[in-house]
Amino acid sequence: MIRSQYTVTPRRDGATYAPPPAEPLLERMTAKIVELGMNGTAVTADALFENSDFTRDEIRTHAAEAADLARARAVRQLA
């Protein structure tokens, strides 16, 4: 997935532009679970920890809900 990188850019009057707010943790985790699943990787807590920047506490707290959202988003149509 292509994501834009934002940097803080100074303006002429000395103020700076603030970057847009980051995606919520649950959305990022859901996207990562879908990505790993679509690549054929068995998505476990260890696989998610090794292939992302989530801490084990974040995974323990949010993985169940993120997995439910990922299942709903990763429906494949075969026909």
Residue 46: domain span: 27-72
Structure token digits, residue 64: 């169940």
pLDDT of residue 44: 94
For residue 42, being part of any structural domain is answered with yes
Is the model's pLDDT at 1 over the cut of 60?
no
Residue 33 resides in a domain: yes
In degrees rounded to 5, what are phi and psi of residue 10? -70, 140
What per-residue confidence (pLDDT) applies to 41?
87
State pLDDT tens for residues 16-74: 666 666 789 999 999 999 999 989 889 999 999 999 999 999 999 999 999 999 999 88
How far apart, in whole angstroms, are the C-alpha atoms of residue 58 and residue 67? 13
Residue 79 and residue 71: Cα distance in Å, rounded?
Answer: 19
Whole-model pTM over 0.85: no
Residue 17 one-letter amino acid: Y
Count structural domains, the chain: 1
Tell me if 74 sits within 8 A of 37, measured CB to CB.
yes
d(CA 63, CA 45): 8
77 domain residue, yes or no: no
